Amino acid sequence: MEIVVSGIRSTGNLHLGNYFGAIRNFVKMQHENHCYFFIADYHSLTTHPTPTDLHDSVKTVLVDFIACGLDPDKATLYIQSDVPEVAELYLLLNMNAYLGELERCTSFKEKIRTQSNNVNAGLLTYPTLMAADIIIHKAHKVPVGKDQEQHLEMTRTFASRFNRIYGVDYFPEPVAYNFGEDLVKIPGLDGSTKMSKSENENSAICLADSPEAILKKVMKAVTDAGPTEPNQPKPQPIENIFQLMHAFSTTDTYNHFSNLYDRCEIRYGDMKKQLAEDIIAYTTPFREKMEALNQDDAYLGKVARMGAEKARESAAKTIREVREIIGFKRM
Ligand code: TYM
């Protein structure tokens, strides 16, 4: 059985990008693999949440995980900070992670641009913490969205470097995984190519959003004055709306609006209304499950404790073996 590991940062409700890029595959993979799915709360500290916000957002992601169909009896669902062995492996990997390669990482360069007042060491070493998360369970496959591709490449570098330095064949080199297809990137409603909550709340639709909120956000999505000649390529914001329609509407609906676009007869208002309706139909069952789970702290606590116990067992074994390989032997 192959080992699958993946995580989601605890920054509140999951959005459609998280679902399509990652969670949907977690749900599919949990049946036939040995899966570890976790809430990356150490990672979320890079943006300095208050203790209350940190706690609330961890609970929110756990609720969303279960509402989306992750089964705590099939996959190990846990909270990253419940497994301090991850922090030890992070420390050990950092000794062989070099400033140049960390600084060249696209996500780090992006953070320098977007949060220049808070470029902390946690951001710089974000890829080593991610590598620790993955290789602590000796993972083979990591279901993630397109934006995580480079982090996976760095994980392979750190894993193979460890093997080379110590002359062992200990860590497998894990791959980003999407059932043989290209990794997914769901676009934002603000014209950007990636749906994300961090830069613009209104660019992302959360699975927990009410029908009213979804309609409002979709109707506000960026568009233009419309095509002036038949069969023109679509500008990015328009392409985004078509991509979302491709993900959430039927093929017939997509083709209908695509033909209207090609004939310069498109009315974006009609298209957005249809898209909002289809997203609402898609997300409503999730939202209803979330509402019920949110009331059940006893169950959530039980899931988190059970996950922590299983994840720690696997992590502690790796750390014991890694310490031995490195030469931390007891006197
Ligand atoms: P995070 O929390 O930003 O995103 C979680 C997952 O959702 C995917 N994703 C998307 N996929 C497609 N389109 C989008 N617009 C979109 N936005 C987000 C991400 O690719 C990711 O798979 N560093 C990770 C969390 C993490 C992790 C790990 C992941 C920590 N340790 C170990 C895998 C393995 C992150 O910030 O993801």
In-domain check, residue 98: yes
User: Are 172 and 146 within one domain?
Assistant: yes
Q: How far is CA 42 from CA 8, 14, 328, in A?
A: 11, 17, 25
Tell whether the model's pLDDT for residue 107 goes beyond 90: yes
Average pLDDT over residues 217-237: 95
> From the CA of 18, how far away is ligand 1's center (Å)?
6
Question: How much is the pLDDT for 90?
Answer: 98
Q: Catalytic annotation on 185?
A: no
Question: How much is the pLDDT for 16?
Answer: 97
User: Are 47 and 165 within one domain?
Assistant: yes
| pLDDT band (50, 70, 90) for residue 302 | very high
Give the integer Cα–Cα distance in Å for 278 and 191. 20
Ligand 1: does its nearest atom lie under 6 Å from the Cβ of 12? no
What are the tens digits of pLDDT across the range 157-216? 999 999 999 999 999 999 999 999 999 999 999 999 999 987 777 889 999 999 999 999
| pLDDT band (50, 70, 90) for residue 271 | very high
Give the integer Cα–Cα distance in Å for 8 and 23. 9
Average pLDDT over residues 124-134: 98
User: Are 279 and 313 within one domain?
Assistant: no
User: Are 213 and 173 within one domain?
Assistant: no
User: Are 230 and 282 within one domain?
Assistant: yes
Ligand 1: does its nearest atom lie under 6 Å from the Cβ of 184? yes
Ligand 1: does its nearest atom lie under 6 Å from the Cβ of 7? yes
Predicted model pTM:
0.96
CATH number at residue 224: 1.10.240.10
**% of the chain at pLDDT higher than 70:** 100
What are the tens digits of pLDDT across the range 8-30? 999 999 999 999 999 999 999 99
User: Are 24 and 71 within one domain?
Assistant: yes
Nearest to 143 by CA among 111, 118, 177: 177
Beta-ladder partners of 76: 36
Q: Catalytic annotation on 329?
A: no
Question: How much is the pLDDT for 172?
Answer: 98
> From the CA of 322, how far away is ligand 1's center (Å)?
27
User: Are 135 and 264 within one domain?
Assistant: no
Tell whether the model's pLDDT for residue 264 goes beyond 90: yes
| DSSP code for 177 | E
User: Are 284 and 251 within one domain?
Assistant: yes
Question: How much is the pLDDT for 330?
Answer: 75
| DSSP code for 183 | P
Question: How much is the pLDDT for 199?
Answer: 72
Tell whether the model's pLDDT for residue 45 goes beyond 90: yes
Mutate-to-test residue for ligand 1 from 19, 148, 243, highest number of ligand atoms within 8 A of CB: 148
User: Are 123 and 37 within one domain?
Assistant: yes
In-domain check, residue 190: no
Q: How far is CA 311 from CA 145, 226, 234, in A?
A: 23, 52, 46
Q: Are 97 and 125 in contact (CB under 8 A)?
A: yes
The pairing of strands 175-177 and 34-40 is unpaired
**% of the chain at pLDDT higher than 90:** 96
Q: Are 138 and 171 in contact (CB under 8 A)?
A: yes
User: Are 233 and 313 within one domain?
Assistant: no
Mutate-to-test residue for ligand 1 from 3, 8, 105, 244, highest number of ligand atoms within 8 A of CB: 8
Domain count, the chain: 2
Q: How far is CA 321 from CA 32, 171, 240, 325, 329, in A?
A: 27, 11, 47, 6, 11
User: Are 151 and 35 within one domain?
Assistant: yes
Ligand 1: does its nearest atom lie under 6 Å from the Cβ of 88? no
Domain residue limits at 34: 3-184+297-326
In-domain check, residue 193: no
Tell whether the model's pLDDT for residue 240 goes beyond 90: yes
Q: Are 76 and 36 in contact (CB under 8 A)?
A: yes
Q: Tell me the CB-side half-sphere exposure of residue 68, using CA atoms within 13 A.
A: 27
In-domain check, residue 191: no
Mutate-to-test residue for ligand 1 from 6, 16, 79, 144, highest number of ligand atoms within 8 A of CB: 144
| DSSP code for 5 | E
Report the atom number in ligand 1 closest to the C-alpha of 188: 15
In-domain check, residue 260: yes
| pLDDT band (50, 70, 90) for residue 140 | very high
CATH number at residue 306: 3.40.50.620
Question: How much is the pLDDT for 331?
Answer: 74
